[in-house]
Chains A and B, each alone.
Chain A
Amino acid sequence: MTVSGARGMFSAYAPILVVAALLALTPLATSANTVLNAMVLALLVALAGQGWNILGGYGGQFSFGHAAFFGTGAYGTALLQARYGLNAYVAFAAAIGAGAAVGAAIGFLSFRSGLRGSYFALVTLAFAEVFRIVANASPFTGGAAGTLLKLDVAPGNFQFASRAIFFWIALALVTLVLILTRAIERSRFGAYLVAIRENESAAQALGIDTFKVKLQAITLSAAVTAAAGAFYAQYFLYVNADIAYGAAVSVEALLAPIIGGLGTAFGPLIGTLALHGLAEGAKALTGRIPGIDVALYGALVVLVIAFAPKGLRGLAARLGRGLSTRWAS
Chain B
Amino acid sequence: MKNQSIIYLFLLLFSMSISGLAQDNISPQRKMAIDSLALEKVRDLSKYISIIGSKETAWSEANRVIERTLELFSEGAQMGVSTINQPKVKYYDIRTYLERLMALNYDKVKIEWFNIEYMSDLERMPDGRYVGVITIYQRFEGSSGDKMKYMDTTKKDITVYVERKQTQIGGRLIGFWDVLLGDVRVIETKP
Q: Do A and B bind each other?
A: no
| Chain A residues with a Cβ under 8 A of chain B | none
| Chain B residues with a Cβ under 8 A of chain A | none
